[in-house]
Amino acid sequence: MTFAKGILSGKTAVVTGGATGIGAHIVRQLGRLGASVGIVSRNEEKLRQAVNSFREEDDLEVCWRSADVRERDAIQKAIEELATELGGIDILVCNAAGNFICPTEELSVNGWRSVIDIDLNGTFNCCQSALPHLKRSAEGGRIIAISTTAANFGWPGAAHAGAAKAGIQNLMKSLAVEWGRYGIRANWISPGPIAGTEGVDRLILQQGMAEQVKKSIPLGRFGEGEDIANAVVFLSAQTGNYITGAELAVDGGGQWQRR
């Protein structure tokens, strides 16, 4: 345990894409530290499996709704229902994302649109839908978007995702300014490669790039889901009170050694 038990007691959180990967790590850590958590994502079967494993492995009751972040009415309804069930939303973690490797020259218009829609438009949909609840948060609402350090440089082979994530980062800066008056903090975390995630599997391992990428990380290893979850806690708790419009890179220093 890395934080004082109960550091998030009384807080409510919604995590998009919280059933798998980094999202599930975030859910577990928020829950273990006292927050009541709801998750929303597309796949109902994965949601049910995740909720069962949160219950069995961590003794956590996590509420859930199934919705696609691209579909405004559906995601707004899901967030609304989760807010009712949780008794509000203090923390919104925009983690849902889609990506695949494809050279831009070969990328179809629909492929481009799908990723921009899930990552960037989905984040906008969730932030705006959660706003009325974040405004009412007693200690100031928190928005934490999960981005990537690749968005700071360009992402050859995944220009669609790089552009979407760069858009998300800029959106957080704007929200930090516009919604600061409501006490809302809007920040983003930029993970490097995180072990055990579908992203690392498809974007790095399946491309045969594991050793090359590891060598490019000064700390010499891929990150763990818990590394990202701890950063979310830091930004969600009182430790994050005076931080808004900021990036927290959790990448073992990898972004400074890119070639």
Binding site for ligand COA (CB under 6 A): 97-100, 102, 108, 110-111, 114-115, 118, 198-199
Compute the least distance from the CB of residue 152 to ligand COA, in Å.
17
Q: Which is closer to ligand COA, CB of 158 or CB of 176?
A: 158
Residue 183 CA, distance from chain mean position: 20
Compute the least distance from the CB of residue 5 to ligand COA, in Å.
31
Q: Which is closer to ligand COA, CB of 107 or CB of 246?
A: 107
From the list 48, 49, 55, 43, the residue with the least C-alpha distance to 96 is 43
Q: Which is closer to ligand COA, CB of 12 or CB of 169?
A: 169
Compute the least distance from the CB of residue 110 to ligand COA, in Å.
3
Q: What are phi and psi of 47, to 5 degrees?
A: -65, -45
Query: Distance between CA 44 and CA 62 in Å, rounded?
Result: 14
Compute the least distance from the CB of residue 7 to ligand COA, in Å.
29
Compute the least distance from the CB of residue 141 to ligand COA, in Å.
26
Q: Which is closer to ligand COA, CB of 37 or CB of 115?
A: 115
Query: Distance between CA 246 and CA 238 in Å, rounded?
Result: 16
Q: Which is closer to ligand COA, CB of 150 or CB of 175?
A: 150
Compute the least distance from the CB of residue 114 to ligand COA, in Å.
4
Q: Which is closer to ligand COA, CB of 21 or CB of 240?
A: 21
Q: Which is closer to ligand COA, CB of 7 or CB of 97?
A: 97
Compute the least distance from the CB of residue 88 to ligand COA, in Å.
29
